[in-house]
Amino acid sequence: MKMFIWLGVLAALYAPQAQAINQEIRALFQPDPSQPSKNVFVNKTPNSGYCAEYPDQCTDNATFSIEVPVRFNSIVPITPFFWISMKAPANWRRLTVTNAQTQETETVEVRITGMGSRYVLSQPAHELVGVSDILEGHQKLWTTNSWVYAAPPCLYSGVGAYSADSYRFFWKTPVETYCVKTAMYNIPSISFNSLDIAYELRTPNPLGMSSGLYTGSMAYSLGVTRDFDLGPWMEPDDSNLTLDFVLDVQHTLKVDIPPGGDKVVLEPQGGWQRWLDSGRKPSRLYRDQIFHISASSKFTMKLECEHRLGFESGCAIVDGQGFAGAVDVSVSLPNGLSDSAGLPVKRKPLGIEPTAPFQPSLYIDRKPGTLHFEVNEQQTHWMIDNAQGRPYRGNITVIWDSEVG
C-alpha cells in the first residue's frame, strides 16, 4: 500500500508602492506538538524602535513595534500655547490577504496601540526655559511635565530617555483621538526624527487556511488631519505609509503505517479454521489497519486501484484467471478531525473520487486512525464458490491529499 502526501512549497512576492514608506509585517503558523490547541500566528517581524529597546513593555501587552523612517519638522517657530498633538489609527481596521497559489482570501485586522519618537530641539531645553538642570528644562518646557508622561487620553508607557536637546518617549494609544502637549516657552524649531508605532493583529484561524503565503496591504496617511497626525505645526517628509502583511501558513500532514502494514491480509472473523470446521461460508472478509496521522489542515482521501470491478467506485482483488471481488475501504479518524458536516469520522467510505475535506479542530499529533478493508457477504460467497486454489490479490493505494481548493 502506497501513500502520497502533498506538501506546499512557499514563495513570497513583495512589490513596494512608489512614493511611500513600505514596511513588511510577517507572521507564521506552524503546528506545535507541545501545544496542539494553540492555533495562532506568531509574529516574525523583528522589533525595532520602542519594543526593541523596551521589550518587557511590549511582552506584557502582547504588542510589537516598528520604527518608521519618517521625520516630522516644525514649519513655524513654536511659541507659548502652540500645541503638538499625537493621534494614531487606534481603531481596528480590516484588510484582505490572498493566498498567491490558491487565490483563497482571509481577513486580517490591525490597530495601532502606541506611538512615539524622539524630539530634537534647536537648542537645549534648559537654555530655552532659563534653568541649569537638563531634566528640569524638559519638564518646564511643556504643560503636564515632560513627555514621558502621556497627554490624556494617551497612556504612560513607563519609559523615557533624554539629552540636553532631545527627549525619547512612547505613548500608548487606547483610542483614536488627539493627545495634546502645549509649549510653555518659545522653541525656534523642533523635529521628531522617526516614528515608532506599536501594533496588534487579529488573524484568522490558521487551521481553516491552506498552506502558503497570504499577502495584503494596509495604507495609512501621515500629516495634518490624517491617520498619523502630530498637529498643524508639524509636517512629515513622507505622507504615506503602507504595511505589507505576509501570513505564512506551514501545515503538517504526515501519515505513518506500522512496519508490515502495507500488506493487508483479508480473513474471516476468527480465522479460516473456524469456518472450515463448521462447513459454513464466512459472512465477510476483512482487516482493520491502524495508522498514525499528524494533521493541522484540511485534507481529502481517495483510492487508486490496480483492479476495478465494473462501474464500482472502489477497488477489487483478482485471481490469476480474472475472477474478481470488490473490496470496500473506509476510514475512521481520531477525535479532533471531523467531516465536512462537522461530525466525527467513523467508517467513512473511500472511493476513487476525493472525499469532502476532513477538517481538524486542533493540531492532531500522531494520533491513531484506522483503515477498514472489507469484502461483503455476497462478494465473499462468490469468491469462495469460484476459488480454484488461487489467491486473490490487488494493490490499493490510499492517498491523503492536503491540496484542497
DSSP 66-131: EEE---EEESS-B-TT-EEEEB---S-EEEEEEETTT--EEEEEEEEEEEEEEEEESS-HHHHHT-
Cβ-based neighbours of 59, under 8 Å, separated by 6 or more: none
Residue position matching grid coordinates 505613548: 171
Q: CA 374, 380, 386 angle in degrees (round to 5)?
A: 140
How far is residue 174 from each of residues 151, 201, 206, 280, measured CA to CA in Å?
Answer: 12, 15, 28, 79
Instruction: Provide, rounded to the nearest whole percent, the portion of the chain with pLDDT above 70.
Output: 95
Give the integer Cα–Cα distance in Å for 195 and 173: 14
Report the distance separating Cα 71 and Cα 236, nearest Å.
6
pLDDT confidence tier of residue 14, bands split at 50, 70 and 90? very low
Q: How large is the average pLDDT for residues 85-113? A: 95
The predicted pLDDT at position 7 comes to: 25
CA–CA separation, 166 and 164 (whole Å): 6
Position 127 scores a pLDDT of 97
Q: What is the mean pLDDT of the chain?
A: 89
Give the residue from 373, 314, 370, 376 showing the smallest Cα distance to 345: 370
CB 238 within 8 A of CB 222: yes
User: Measured between alpha carbons, how far is 164 from 127 in angstroms, rounded to an integer?
Assistant: 9
Using the CB atoms, write b or e for 332-361: b if 16+ within 10 Å.
bbbebbbbeeeeebeebebbeebbebbbbe
Contacting residues for 157 by C-beta, under 8 A, at least 6 apart:
50, 54, 57, 114, 116, 150, 169, 170, 171, 172
Our CA dihedral for 272, 274, 280, 282, rounded to 10 degrees, sits at -50
Domain ranges of the chain: 21-249, 253-401
Q: Report how far residue 312's alpha carbon sits from residue 78's, in angstroms, rounded to the nearest whole number.
A: 85
What's the rounded Cα separation, in Å, for the pair 184 and 381? 101
Percent of the chain with pLDDT over 90: 72
Contacts of 388 (CB under 8 A, 6+ apart): 319, 321
Residue-wise pLDDT tens digits, 196-209: 999 999 999 998 89
Quick one: how far is CA 184 from the chain centroid? Answer: 48
Sign, CA dihedral 399-376-359-369, equals negative
Element (H, E) at 400: strand 396-401
Residue 304: count of CB within 10 angstroms of its CB:
13
Considering the domain 253-401, what is its CATH architecture? Sandwich (2.60)
Instruction: Give the C-alpha separation, 208 to 185, whole Å.
Output: 58
Confidence of residue 98 (pLDDT cuts 50, 70, 90): very high
Is residue 31 classed exposed, middle or buried when 0-12, 13-18 and 19+ CB atoms within 10 A define those classes? buried
Q: For 245, how many CA atoms within 13 A lie in the half-sphere containing its CB? A: 27
**Would the CA dihedral through 35, 37, 39, 40 be positive or negative?**
negative
The predicted structure's pLDDT at residue 198: 93
Residue 118 has pLDDT above 80, yes or no: yes
pLDDT, one tens digit per residue, over 247-296 is 999 999 999 999 998 999 999 988 888 787 777 889 899 999 999 999 99
Which residue in 44, 42, 62, 40 sits closest to 200, CA to CA?
62
- φ, ψ of residue 136 to 5 degrees: the values are -60, -35
Q: How confident is the model at residue 246 (pLDDT cuts 50, 70, 90)?
A: very high
Which residues have a Cβ under 8 Å from the Cβ of 205 and sit 6 or more positions away? 39
